[in-house]
Amino acid sequence: MNTAKKGDKVKVHYKGKLTSGEQFDSSEGREPLEFTVGAGQMIAGFDAAIPGMSVGEKKTINIAPAEAYGEKNKEAIIEFPKSNIPADMKLEPGMKLQLRNEAGQPIPVTVTEVKDDVIILDANHELAGKELIFDIELIEIAE
């Protein structure tokens, strides 16, 4: 029986959940996700689960933060002066914003706290520090 191996282009359907049961992503109702096994296109734990799977096989995997989006980095939590924000902009915790680095590249951030003179922004990936659970079904191994 043909099984997936490193270098194969595969298609999978998946459902991603947190340990709380909250779903954060799914391919349901969409085309299956296509990627090359072992090419670094996926988070490490997801990629590592595919070799050895056969078409039609389903599995559930738990991925530790180190094999997903990493631990939360305290240095990615920054204080940003309110004076640098338009006065008419209403900020609330949970709000998503984009900053730009020195090279002009966008950096997505989340407002975590609004203080009198600064806002606290978190540039960590929203899934950093979290254990992830994926239900995976291998749909196709491309030749």
Q: Is the pTM of this model over 0.95?
A: no
Residue type, 114: V
Which structural domains are found in the chain, ordered by start? 9-70+127-142 (3.10.50.40), 74-122 (2.40.10.330)
Contact 93, 114 (CB under 8 A): yes
What stretches of 45-86 adopt beta strand conformation (E)? 58-63, 77-81
pLDDT for residue 70: 95
Higher pLDDT, 99 or 6: 6
Contact 12, 55 (CB under 8 A): no
Q: How far, in Å, CA of 111 to CA of 94, rounded? A: 5
pLDDT in tens, 74-115: 999 999 999 988 888 889 999 999 988 889 999 999 999 999
Handedness of CA 42, 44, 13, 142 (dihedral sign): positive
